[in-house]
Structure formats: C-alpha cells, structure tokens
Homo-oligomer: A and B are copies of this chain.
Amino acid sequence: KLKIRGYTQFRSASTVGGDKDAVSYWPDKSVGENSSFLIRRARVILYGDVSDNLYVYLQPDFASTPSGSSTGHFGQLRDAYADIAFDQKKEFRVRVGQSKIPFSFENLQSSQNRLALDRNDGLNSCCRDERDIGAFFYWAPAHIRERFKDLVSNNLKGSGDYGVFAFGVYNGQGANRVEQNNDMHMVVRFTYPYMFGNGQIFEAGVQAVHGRFVTSTGPINGVTPIMDAPAKGFKDQRVGVHAVLYPQPFGFQAEWNWGRGPQLNDTQTMLTESSLSGGYVLANYRLNAGQWGMLFPFVKWQHFEGGQKFERNAPHNYVNDWEFGVEWQVTKEIELTAVYHMMNRTDLANAPYERYKADVLRFQLQWNY
C-alpha cells in the first residue's frame, strides 16, 4: 500500500558580523547578501510495502533547479529505490536505485530530523547530495532493526535503518549526475546501536569508500587548471568513524574521516590527488517543555581541510565553524530552529576561492506532513 508524507523547510538568515560581502555558503542560498526567504527543501515521499518482500521509496524535492536554469522549484528525485528482502524478517535486504550512500551518520540522518541546518563539510563532501545510483546490501538482526526504527519514532534523532553491516557499489559522480567512467565506487560500513541497562543507547561504527571520481574544470583568472589524473578520474577514498550518544536527555555526537581525492593546488593551476581530513563534534540536550513542546539546544563544531571534489576545479575547502542553536518542536508537525553560526570558511562558488569569516543568524521553520 502506497502512502504519502513529506516536509518543507523555510529559511531566512542575516549576516550580523564579519566579512558581510564575502559570505557565500554553498549548502544554503538564504545565507549571504541579496537573499531574504528561501524554500530549502519541499519534499514529497511516496513509500510503502507493496508486497511481502518489496518496499518502495520515491522522493522528489520540489526545491530543485536544473543546471543552467534561472527558474527553480522543479521536482527532482532525491530517492527512488526498491528494498528487496530475502527473508521473512527482512534482516537481509538489497536496496536498488538511487539512495543514500551508507557513509557517515549525519549523511544518513534525515534533514527532517537533523538539529544543525546543514551537514558538516568534512563527511558530506564524500558524496554529492549524499546519494548515488547503485545497489546496496544491508544486514541487521530484527531486534536491531526495531531499535533503529525506535530511535527515529521516539524523537531521538536516529539515522534510520542502514543496517548493522552495509556493502554497496554505485556510480560515484553523485545524485542525479551522469556517470563519467566505467569504474564503480564501493562502500562498506559497520555500526551498532548498543543499549545499556538503563535504556541509554550508544552507537558507534566505521565506514570506508573507494572509487575514481571525474572532476570538472573551468577558468580561474582566465586560465583553466590542468588535471593530473587518468581519464577515468582521480582516486577517491575515505575512511570514517562515528560515535553517537543519543539524547536521553543529554546527547553527544562525533564523526571524523580521512582520505584522498582531487584538489586544486595552491597556485590554482592544476588539480592533483591530495589528502583530506575533517569532521565534527555535536552536543545536544532533549528538553520536554510539556505543553510548550520539545526543545533541543545544541552546539556543533566542525573542521575540514581538503578538496571539494564535486565543485568545479575541486577547490581547497577550509572550514572551521561553530554553531550554537536550538530546535523548538512547537508541535510534532511544526519545528522552529534558530542558529548562531560563526563561519570561518571558503567561498567555493567563486574563483579564486577566498576565505571569509562571518557571524550569521539563521532561522528555519519546518512543517511535517
């Protein structure tokens, strides 16, 4: 039986200090000059168990813009996958189609549930839009599948069920992008949500990706950088770790990853294979304010140094950001988030990719349906 649900995020931001004119924040166009209100996501999800062994999930986002178009809000796929189960308890599944790459906890956690308005650059830079076309095998025992489910439905900010063990192959150029080589990416992941006697749940795990990525280039100061890579692209590999203490009521979350990938060199004349490293630490608290709803104050620090492979020229991305915020779940359907975001990062959209520092006050209203 097919069902429909979804959520929409409405945003606004004000730069209150720092290099105002230089602000250019790639994950959110409501940040920066000449911007007011923005619909960041407008999701409609068609999903359901259509037979004993087939679960389908199709999710367009109606806040998408085709490349080259000056008009936006078109419906574009995020997910379109089938979960095919091989046993009655659905402990063994293959997910085929476009879906999230099982790398990093924050990448897998839905934006509907995430506290910070955007994901950290460190791990998110692994995978354009977190997704790709491929086939992924997931295994988890039935009682752990139940636990993954409860972590979301009990409002504990879980990631959903991407298995205790995951292995997959995928194109590697990112969601909604055309494959550029014959080489497939591989991903492997292990995670386990351990429950203590008092009910407190702690999850930790490791993951790795490996593949070859084809970068695009364009002119910088009139000169287009050359590429030091074979035709099938640059080496693209990472290994990451994550640890999550779920907010019962105090929560803590940390991830880090290290790897190698394409990066523009210092003189901005050539793309070379370089190392990268980054991650984040998040502390949060789950406060039940009774008739006033739920409150999640949080603080997040993130750091990244490495090439942003899916941006043109794979510019060197330096990030060292602090975020102080609170998510107020007014009702189950209405969420208001305010964040004081202290940015110290790189303008990835405009060559020569300069750094800026700025304090930005950001707001989001989210409605769930």
Contact = CB atoms under 8 A, between A and B. Distances in A.
Interface of A: 2, 4-6, 8, 10, 29, 33-39, 42, 44, 46, 48, 50-51, 53-54, 56, 58, 60, 62-77, 80, 82, 84, 96-98, 133-135, 170-171, 175-182, 184, 331-334, 365, 367-369
A8 B51 contact: no
A128 B8 CA distance: 22
Given A4-B2, A39-B80, A182-B33, A69 B66 contact: yes
The A interface, classified by DSSP as helix, strand, loop or mixed, is strand
Given A69-B69, A84-B334, 20 more contacts: A4-B46, A6-B58, A8-B58, A10-B133, A34-B179, A34-B182, A35-B178, A37-B133, A37-B135, A39-B80, A50-B369, A51-B331, A51-B333, A65-B66, A66-B71, A67-B69, A67-B71, A72-B177, A74-B77, A75-B76
A97 B43 CA distance: 13
Nearest to A5: B2
What is the oligomeric copy number? Answer: 3
A75 B98 contact: no
Contacts of A181: 34
B179 A56 contact: no
A96 B10 contact: yes
B75 A39 contact: no
Contacts of A62: 58, 60, 75-77, 80
Q: Which 5 A-B pairs have the closest CB atoms?
A: A73-B77, A66-B69, A75-B75, A82-B367, A37-B133
Nearest to A214: B34
A103 to B, nearest CB: 17
Given A38-B133, A46-B44, A76 B73 contact: yes
Given A39-B98, A76-B75, A333 B170 contact: no
Nearest to A51: B333
Given A8-B82, A58-B44, A176-B73, A37 B369 contact: no
Contacts of A54: 331, 333-334, 367, 369
A146 to B, nearest CB: 25
